[in-house]
Structure 1
Amino acid sequence: MNATEVIQAIDGMTPAAQQAYLSQISDSISAATLAEVQRAIEQHDDNKVMALLPVGLFAGFVELLRSAFVRGGSTELRDVRVVGLLIGREFDAYDTDAANFLRDQRTGFLATAAADRASAIRAILEAGRTRGQSASTTAMDLIGRVNKQTGRRSGGVLGLSAPFTQAVIAARAELSSNDPAQLRKYLKRGRRDPIFDKAVRTALEFGKRLTADSINTIVDRYSERLLDTQALNAATTFLAQSIAEGRDQAWRQANDRADNRLLVTKTWNSKGDAHVRSTHVALNKQKVQQDQPFVSPSGARLMYPGDTSLGAPRDEIVNCRCAAEYSATRIDR
């Protein structure tokens, strides 16, 4: 697979993975009982609040990651050609390396989701106590409010990362402040819904405080849009990682079948547009042997774009659209 084919594969699978993420969060919110959450908040039992709001196992999302892994490996192996060597074209998605990767990826993803959930719940509980608001209001800040049109809950912070949760808290504070500077700050938020800008600008112009219902509606919609972004980030990031790992394992399997008579190299290819992060601009066209990592100017080490096995941080992998391209020469013995 070349870099363009990798991006096309990720783009093709992203909508389903994004929807799987959103469906998991929607199911978790639907299963939550407002009265129980409210009661736990009233009792200051934060552990019980945590227990009442699990985010689940993301089974559908994880299965799509497995499919991406197999697709990456199968497609890559079919394209492996080395003169004088016969290499089977069937990718083994059940060997030890494959099983280990899929297990570790699932474990890491669920651990991150659990950490984000805990961070979001703690932040909302603390914000509610700081504002002195009722347990009922805090509970709805956590799991959202019932949308009168759909009959389903919307808003809340389940499924959001810690930075996105803090953005929701900050947006609520800005809208509640009745301070022109703070209202203008809200209007600069990129993921806000512009449909509500008129109401905010009216409050600015006439100095009239937004009602609590208006603030809830605006913030809940902002939270929904952040959740869409969170789901998209998760989908693109983990699909890219799955496809890339499958491709990398395909070349390892090919070399094993060739009795290690292949010298495999890989080259980092960036998307080449203005959105590429600076560290990946520097990595572009860097070439290393397959068993060696790419080294980012940040010091992060990655076996391929999107890899976290060597400890690369989120800011090196989230929404990365780079791809490695592989080549091999025969080693004569």
Structure 2
Amino acid sequence: MLFARASSLTRYALDASLAKRKSDDHIRVEQLVAKMERSVRQAFLTFVQNVRSQTVMREVAELLGRNDIDSALKIVDRYVVRMAPVVSNVFIAAANDETKALAEQVNRISPAVGISFDPTYQRAADLMADAQLNFIRDFTATQREAVRVALTQALIDGEGPIATAKAFRDAIGLTARQLAAIQNYRNLLAQGSSEALDRDIRDRRFDRTVQRAVNTGEPLSASQVDAMVDRYRDRYLMSRAETIARTETGKVVSQARDEAFKQVAAEAGITSDMVERTWRATRDSRTRDSHAAMNGQKVEGTEEAFISGAGNRLMRPHDPAAPASEVINCRCVQTLKIKRRTP
């Protein structure tokens, strides 16, 4: 928080010549997001590694052997809870980074002012708690659905306890939709279908073997199919890790930066009419068209919404009120400019 109120900021805005260039601010936020994404991605992969460990899977296999599926799922839930604190860590790191960036501007106007982010402030604490609880709720629901799909498929296949436990293990970290795609890929390989060569995330090192099986009509061996499917599953797992890291990090960083600004603005007397916000999209082929069209879009004040190329209103990137189609895998950021106040 501000240790000494910069009353002069109620009369003067931060001079644009003293602030960092927008491009520099955009780069700063992108670097922050990239760093936090690595943290979330590692937390997810650690979760998968821990749940798939021999110790945990022995316990799961024992429970499944007694047909106690709910208790087996609760084991996974415990590890989701252990992963969740990464959300609060990202929030605090992002808020501190944003506060530091604002401090460089504020201290040029009033060097006596000391600025820091207060994570214990009630609104900030509530935001972090909600973000962490929402992460636990959503991830747990998705993981439980995937595990139940895997167990159902094992039952349909008439698998025994060991194979059922393996199906449970292989579902960890994935979604039900991804599991269905993996099962479909296995079926294509077993059938010797050329459609298996159309799957984008397949390991192309196997293509020659698959093509030979298609051409000769000689089926792939069970071990060959297993190896190809395992690699396919691993790639889906990494894709899942990237999606979670990008979506969750972007959402939490956006909330944290917004909260950091509100804390500084409240103490420094920065009012809505002094703020100009700009939408910055990552300009590459992966950016959705509706966001590419928004790049450079400016809005005045803190309450005006951006308008996406799809016609949706967004208060900022990863707006929690926005449709999922505007949020998932979004890499956009918002930059802020404090304008001169009219005397």
**8 A Cα contact 2:277 2:335, kept in partner:** yes
**8 A Cα contact 1:241 1:306, kept in partner:** yes
1:105 CA displacement = 1.1
**8 A Cα contact 2:251 2:317, kept in partner:** yes
**Higher share in helix:** 2
**8 A Cα contact 2:143 2:173, kept in partner:** yes
What pairs up with 1:79-98 in 2 under 5 angstroms? 79-81=104-106, 88-98=114-124
Q: Equivalent of 1:157, from 171, 177, 181? A: 171
Please tell me the root mean square deviation across aligned C-alpha atoms, in Å: 2.9
1:187–1:260 distance in 2 versus 1, CA, 3 Å: same
1:39–1:17 distance in 2 versus 1, CA, 3 Å: closer
One-letter amino acid of the structure 1 residue matched with residue 305 of structure 2:
P
**More displaced 10-residue stretch of structure 1: 1-10 or 38-47:** 38-47
Query: For 1:110 and 1:52, how far apart are their aligned partners in 2?
Result: 14
Q: Equivalent of 2:86, from 50, 56, 61? A: 61
One-letter amino acid of the structure 2 residue matched with residue 108 of structure 1:
N
**8 A Cα contact 1:72 1:242, kept in partner:** no
2:178 pairs with 1:141: no
Equivalent in the alignment of 1:249: 259
2:28 pairs with 1:14: no
Q: Equivalent of 1:170, from 153, 168, 184? A: 184
Equivalent in the alignment of 1:326: 336
One-letter amino acid of the structure 2 residue matched with residue 304 of structure 1:
R
**8 A Cα contact 2:95 2:260, kept in partner:** no
2:292 pairs with 1:272: no
1:261–1:292 distance in 2 versus 1, CA, 3 Å: closer
**TM-score scaled by structure 2?**
0.80
Equivalent in the alignment of 1:103: 129
One-letter amino acid of the structure 2 residue matched with residue 97 of structure 1:
R
**8 A Cα contact 1:28 1:56, kept in partner:** no
1:262–1:117 distance in 2 versus 1, CA, 3 Å: closer
Greater relative contact order structure (CA < 8 Å, 6+ sep): 2
Equivalent in the alignment of 2:233: 223
1:277 CA displacement = 0.2
Cα deviation code 1:107-160 (max 9, x no counterpart): 1111121011111112112222333333422321221xxxxxxxxxxxx12111
2:293 pairs with 1:282: yes
Equivalent in the alignment of 1:189: 199
**8 A Cα contact 2:26 2:335, kept in partner:** yes
**8 A Cα contact 2:143 2:174, kept in partner:** yes
Q: Which structure would you say has the larger Rg?
A: 2
1:208 CA displacement = 1.9
Equivalent in the alignment of 1:128: 154
| Structure 1: runs of 5+ lacking an equivalent | 144-155
Q: Equivalent of 1:78, from 103, 111, 115? A: 103
1:324–1:44 distance in 2 versus 1, CA, 3 Å: same
Query: For 2:310 and 2:69, how far apart are their aligned partners in 1?
Result: 38
Query: For 2:276 and 2:107, how far apart are their aligned partners in 1?
Result: 13
One-letter amino acid of the structure 1 residue matched with residue 127 of structure 2:
F
Cα deviation code 1:2-51 (max 9, x no counterpart): 22221122223433332221011111121665555456556655434423
Q: Aligned to 2:339, what secondary structure does the other structure show?
A: strand
Query: For 2:272 and 2:262, how far apart are their aligned partners in 1?
Result: 9
**8 A Cα contact 1:269 1:323, kept in partner:** yes
One-letter amino acid of the structure 1 residue matched with residue 175 of structure 2:
S
1:324 CA displacement = 0.7
**More displaced 10-residue stretch of structure 1: 211-220 or 63-72:** 63-72
- Between the aligned residues of both structures, percent identity stands at 27
| Structure 2: runs of 5+ lacking an equivalent | 1-23
1:229 CA displacement = 1.8
**More displaced 10-residue stretch of structure 1: 165-174 or 22-31:** 165-174
Query: For 1:103 and 1:60, how far apart are their aligned partners in 2?
Result: 10
Q: Aligned to 1:56, what secondary structure does the other structure show?
A: helix
Size of the aligned set, in residue pairs, is 315
**8 A Cα contact 2:192 2:213, kept in partner:** no
**TM-score scaled by structure 1?**
0.82
2:23 pairs with 1:23: no
Cα deviation code 1:262-297 (max 9, x no counterpart): 522311111222321011123323323213333435
Query: For 2:110 and 2:104, how far apart are their aligned partners in 1?
Result: 13
Query: For 2:63 and 2:50, how far apart are their aligned partners in 1?
Result: 21
**More displaced 10-residue stretch of structure 1: 26-35 or 3-12:** 26-35
